[in-house]
A = this chain, B = another copy of it.
Amino acid sequence: MALARSGIELRCLCIDTHSRFIHPKFIQNVRLIQSGPHCQNVEVIATLKDGKELCLEPTAPWVKLIIKAILDKEALQLF
C-alpha cells in the first residue's frame, strides 16, 4: 500500500508509486491531484474495481496512456 491516509490533504498522499502496467478494465477511477503547498508532487491515484487504491507515476507513458484511454472511449477498444 503506497497511499498515506489523511482526512484533509495537508501533505503528499503517495509514499511511492506502483510501477507495473494496470489494464484500464481493472480501474474504476483515477484522481489527478495538482502539486501545491501541501505536496510538491503531482499525484495520480487509481481506484481499482476491487476498491484498492494505488499511486501511479504521473510521468510514466503507460499512465498517460491509461488516462487517455479513459477519456477517449474509442481508445479503450485498442486494449
**Residues of A that sit less than 8 Å from B by CB:** 24, 27-36, 42, 44, 58-59, 63-64, 67-68, 70-73
Contact = CB atoms under 8 A, between A and B. Distances in A.
B31 A29 contact: yes
Contact of A29 (B28, B34, B58, B72): B34
Contact of A71 (B29, B36, B67): B67
B71 A64 contact: yes
Contact of A32 (B29, B34, B59): B29
A40 B45 CA distance: 22
A59 B71 contact: yes
A63 B32 CA distance: 13
A32 B64 contact: no
